[in-house]
């Protein structure tokens, strides 16, 4: 059953592309001190998984982009993966989701047709061991959208075979009572179009409606990006499929606009609104989200900003304090009238 969001269901991504991080048992204590109830990791490292045993934290683990193709082609490989990676630590370690790959459809070098078959093989392997409560999903980047503005025009790309993969993916997620997991970064949207997207709109700092769309008003870019995904799913006939935000965050250095103050503003507000259960103009109610990321990771590749997404320095001290914003996110009556969209499902 997928558990609906409660007051503290905000999560955090615990990446480990670094050579100076605390030991996993120390990390669990840091996560508890920050009151995160969900954690997402990017592999199935046994030491990390055991550190979360009996912690009360719900964990998302991952099949890497290098692993899923072999699992797609062999049910025995899927069974071996579950027996070797999940069975030794579950249920003491509360695995909530298995994320198969990461942003697979953004990389044309990956075998896209293998994605959903690998998810089915893993689903069957989990069921055979009685691990029915563990759900399977795959994080998708927002570049999967062909159209995203206005939000009601949201539509998935169909080029290069993406359409058949998306159709199969939505069918799998719906039939297995899972969630569509999307990585949503307003920073990169703003960075790519600062002329048309204001910084305050990207940072949740506007109290005025910046975009009207079919009677729905948008005061921030995050809601608009999320609702474009909802619209795309509705166009495919999956408007009732729950959505979860696998990654969202703002860097504190390494690029214009990537400052400590901006990162604090964005992440503080993201955490607050997730805990409030506000939802979006198109889908009021709970929306699970995992902040990216727990630590600054000094060995990440790419531009400098990739090494500055952490809430914490490697020594466990905060990069910035997470503060409550001074202005309300939405009208009080809107909060009172909202209801969770992350339903429990058998």
Q: What value does the mean pLDDT take over residues 150-167?
A: 96
In a domain, 145, yes or no: no
**Is residue 251 domain-resident?**
yes
337: confidence class by pLDDT, cuts 50, 70, 90:
very low
Q: What is the pLDDT of residues 105-127, one digit of tens each?
A: 999 999 999 999 999 999 999 99
Domain of 24 in residue numbering reads as 10-140+155-173+243-312
pLDDT confidence of residue 21 = 98
Angstrom distance (rounded) from CA 226 to CA 230? 6
In a domain, 191, yes or no: no
Q: Measured between alpha carbons, how far is 171 from 68 in angstroms, rounded to an integer?
A: 19
- What positions carry a catalytic annotation? 103, 247
Q: Which helix or strand (DSSP H or E) is residue 135 part of? A: strand 135-137
Is the pTM for the entire model greater than 0.85?
A: yes
Q: Indicate whether 334 belongs to any domain.
A: no
Residue 95 covered by a domain? yes
Which residue is it, tokens 């990676």? 85
Residue 171 has pLDDT above 50, yes or no: yes
Res. 137: pLDDT tops 90:
yes
Residue 293 predicted with pLDDT over 60: yes
Q: Distance between CA atoms of 30 and 293, rounded to whole angstroms?
A: 13
Residue 323 has a pLDDT of 62
Position 332 scores a pLDDT of 31
Residue 324 lies in a domain: no
Domain membership of residue 333 (yes or no) is: no
Tell me the C-alpha distance between 195 and 133, whole Å: 46
Distance CA(298)–CA(278), nearest Å, equals 35
Q: What is the pLDDT of residue 345?
A: 27
**Which tokens belong to 137?**
């999903």
Taking residues 257-285, what's their average pLDDT? 95
Count of domains observed in the chain: 1
Measured CA to CA in angstroms, residue 167 lies from 152, 229, 249 at distances of 19, 14, 28
CATH number at residue 62: 3.20.20.80
Decide if 198 contacts 224 (C-beta within 8 A).
no
Mean of pLDDT over the chain: 91
pLDDT band at 7 (very low <50, low <70, confident <90, very high): very low
pLDDT digits (tens, 9 = 90+) for 184-241: 999 999 999 999 999 999 999 999 999 999 999 999 999 999 999 999 999 999 999 9
Q: Give CA–CA dist 24/38, Å, rounded.
A: 15
60-72, pLDDT tens digit by residue?
999 999 999 999 9
- Measure the CA–CA gap between 58 and 60, rounded to whole angstroms: 7
| 283 domain residue, yes or no | yes
Q: What DSSP string describes 17-68?
A: --SSPPPHHHHHHHHHHTT--EEE-SS--HHHHHHTTTSS-EEEEEE-TTTH
30-41: average pLDDT: 96
């Amino acid at each position: 059953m997928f558990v609906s969001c409660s007051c503290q269901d905000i999560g955090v991504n615990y990446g480990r592309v670094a050579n100076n991080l605390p030991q996993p048992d120390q990390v669990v204590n840091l996560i508890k001190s920050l009151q995160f109830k969900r954690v997402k990791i990017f592999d199935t490292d046994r030491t990390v998984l055991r550190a979360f045993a009996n912690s009360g934290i719900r964990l998302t683990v991952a099949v890497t982009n290098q692993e899923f193709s072999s699992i797609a082609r062999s049910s025995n490989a899927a069974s071996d993966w579950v027996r070797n990676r999940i069975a030794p630590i579950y249920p003491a370690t509360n695995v909530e989701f298995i994320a198969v790959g990461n942003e697979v459809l953004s990389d044309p070098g990956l075998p896209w047709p293998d994605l959903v078959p690998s998810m089915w093989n893993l689903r069957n392997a989990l069921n055979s061991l009685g691990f029915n409560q563990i759900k399977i999903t795959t994080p998708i980047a927002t570049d999967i959208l062909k159209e995203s503005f206005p939000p009601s025009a949201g539509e998935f790309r169909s080029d290069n075979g993406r359409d058949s993969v998306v159709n199969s993916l939505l069918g799998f997620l719906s039939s297995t009572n899972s969630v569509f997991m999307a990585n949503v970064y307003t920073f990169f949207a703003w960075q790519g179009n600062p002329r048309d997207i204001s910084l305050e709109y990207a940072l949740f700092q506007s109290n005025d409606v910046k975009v009207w769309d079919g009677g729905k008003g948008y005061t921030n870019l995050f809601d608009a990006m999320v609702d474009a995904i909802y619209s795309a799913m509705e166009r495919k006939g999956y408007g009732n499929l729950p959505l979860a935000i696998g990654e969202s965050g703002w860097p504190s250095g390494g690029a214009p606009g990537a400052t400590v103050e901006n990162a604090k503003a964005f992440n503080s507000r993201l955490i607050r609104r997730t805990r409030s259960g506000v939802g979006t103009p198109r889908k009021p109610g709970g929306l699970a989200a995992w902040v990216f990321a727990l630590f600054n990771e000094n060995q990440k590749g790419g531009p400098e900003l990739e090494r500055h997404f952490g809430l914490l320095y490697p020594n466990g001290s905060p990069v910035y304090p997470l503060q409550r914003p001074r202005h309300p996110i939405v009208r009080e009556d809107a909060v009172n009238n909202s209801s969770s969209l992350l339903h429990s499902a058998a």
